[in-house]
Amino acid sequence: MTPFGLRVRALRKSRGITLKQMAADLDISSAYLSALEHGHRGRPSWSLVAQICDYFNIIWDDAEELQRLASLSHPKVTLDTSGLSPTATEFANLLAAEIRALPEPRLREMLAYLKANKAGR
């Protein structure tokens, strides 16, 4: 699941809306909505994110957060390390090779570190 898919699914379930009903209301297929929720599709379009925000009456900060999650939810990431240090290139390649083997607590720890580092800049 992607961060966006997890959030949309939580919003939908918290309101007691079935996947089929939400898909019909948004005029998209239930297969596509399921694929978005489970991270089997690329990031959604801005217009679909806006539709979802409108559907759930999400405004301001929550709408921005959903858009941010959508932008972070592409299941295939390409990273260009040209111009970076050899250490950065090694890190990127090793992360790509080993990410599936990392336990969830370690992933959360690494994510928290990266977010803190970004906030400190």
Q: CA-CA distance, 46 to 30, in Å (whole number)?
A: 19
pLDDT digits (tens, 9 = 90+) for 35-92: 999 988 888 999 999 999 999 999 999 999 999 999 888 877 888 999 999 999 999 9
Q: Extract the tokens encoding 84.
A: 């970076």
Q: Which residues lie below 8 Å from residue 2, measured CB to CB, with a gap of 6+?
A: 39, 69, 72, 73, 74, 75
Q: What is the mean pLDDT of residues 14-19?
A: 98
The DSSP secondary structure of 101-119, one letter per residue, reads GS-HHHHHHHHHHHHHHHH
CATH code, 3-71? 1.10.260.40
Please tell me the predicted confidence (pLDDT) of residue 120. Answer: 87
Q: Determine the average pLDDT of the residues in 91-96.
A: 93
Mean pLDDT of the chain: 94
- Helices 19-26/46-55 angle, 10° precision: 120
In whole angstroms, how far apart are CA 105 and each of 5, 8, 49, 55, 102? 20, 23, 29, 33, 8
Check if the beta carbon of residue 53 is closer than 8 Å to that of residue 14: no
Instruction: Name the amino acid, one letter, at 90.
Output: E
- 16: pLDDT strictly greater than 90: yes
Higher per-residue confidence, 1 vs 25: 25
- pTM score of the predicted model: 0.70
CB 39 within 8 A of CB 21: no
